Amino acid sequence: MTHQPEPHLPGVLAIDAGNSKTDVALVGADGRVLGSARGGGFTPQKTGGVAAVAGLAPLVEEAAAAAGLTGWTGPLTSHVSACLANADLPVEEEGLRVALESHPWGVSNTVVNDTFGLLRAGTDGPRGVAVVCGAGINCVGLLPDGRTARFPALGELTGDWGGGSGLAVSSMWHAVRAEDGRGAPTALAPAIAEHFGLPSAVAVAEAVHLGHLPFARLHEIVRVLFAVAGEGDRAALELIDRQADEITRLALVALRRLDLLDTPTPVVLGGGVLAARQSLLLDNLTARLAREAPLAEPRVVVAPPVLGAVLLGLDHLRAGPQAQERARRAYDPAHPVAA
């Protein structure tokens, strides 16, 4: 039998690494959040998995220091539970898990796509479907016997559409075409220009192209889109309708693959676009779900995404219900709410 080293702190190092930000939390085996840290986005597709994981080290050290742990030589804690964006394929998850093993952070390590973290945050166990609509869009489903439903989620290359990035770029598409005459008029054009303090949507596009306006700021257009749609703009309403349709399609496919259409099943909704709880989107997609999957139980998770990584880590340690509840209350006092 291989001897397992004793961790410096029995518990979980939870990592939720998204496209735009990364949260790290050090949680005791009793569910108490002892230290945390936040950093930038996690982009292994650009830097490589080994470098991306190495980039987490300062955040791990910051969380450990916040927990009063300094000078530790490892392993820091019992288990590393990492829910990572851009770990879209099982082979990518495994590669990132191996990269985590090279750091003295946990006796054991698991890596899953961050959508599984959302699913765990919105449910009491391994059963349900989750759709994340944040910077991008993805969907997973899970059954207690381990069967999953998932999508490659590689963007347009694998048939995906929407999320904050997709909505922003599509809004720009309509706005610029309206200005130059190729498309129908839309209030998106002047609203986008005004938001960025530029004379036109074309000027916004040029500023992004020339590097004067960071591409990352385009996600701000999503707020503009919903504001314009609220005033009845046709193009904006059509984009939101398309997003509702896409979210519903993902959920229905996952429910169908797992034979859950005829069973009451949580459908967890999260990510920045959905957590904003815009009624134009939520009312649309919940009405679609009610028609196509009347037993689906949509619920919106607004708690920080790292909660899912924490709960999955405590599951791995077989922590009791008190520890689970203590951790959940730290991040999500109200629990997920019905859509």
> Could you read off the pLDDT of 69-108 as tens digits, one per residue?
988 887 999 999 999 988 999 999 999 999 999 999 999 9
User: Euclidean distance between the first and final Cα of the chain, in Å?
Assistant: 49
For the chain, state the CA radius of gyration: 21
- Res 199: pLDDT: 98
Residue pair 30/22 in contact by the 8 Å Cβ criterion: no
Mean pLDDT by 10 residues, the chain (339 residues): 76 93 96 96 89 95 94 90 93 95 95 96 95 95 96 93 96 98 98 98 98 95 98 98 98 98 97 96 98 97 94 96 94 67
The DSSP code sequence of 1-63 is -PPPPPPSEEEEEEEEE-SS-EEEEEEETTS-EEEEEEE----HHHH-HHHHHHTTHHHHHHH
Query: CA-to-CA distance for 89 and 112, rounded, in angstroms?
Result: 9
- Res 18: pLDDT: 86
Phi-psi region of 181 (alpha: psi -120 to 50; beta: other; left: phi over 0): left
Between CA 249 and CA 254, with CA 250 as vertex, the angle to 5 degrees is 115
- Res 3: pLDDT: 62
- Res 125: pLDDT: 87
Q: Which residue has the tokens 């259409």?
A: 261
Residue pair 86/120 in contact by the 8 Å Cβ criterion: no
- Res 310: pLDDT: 98
Residue pair 78/106 in contact by the 8 Å Cβ criterion: yes
Residue pair 118/305 in contact by the 8 Å Cβ criterion: yes
- Res 245: pLDDT: 98
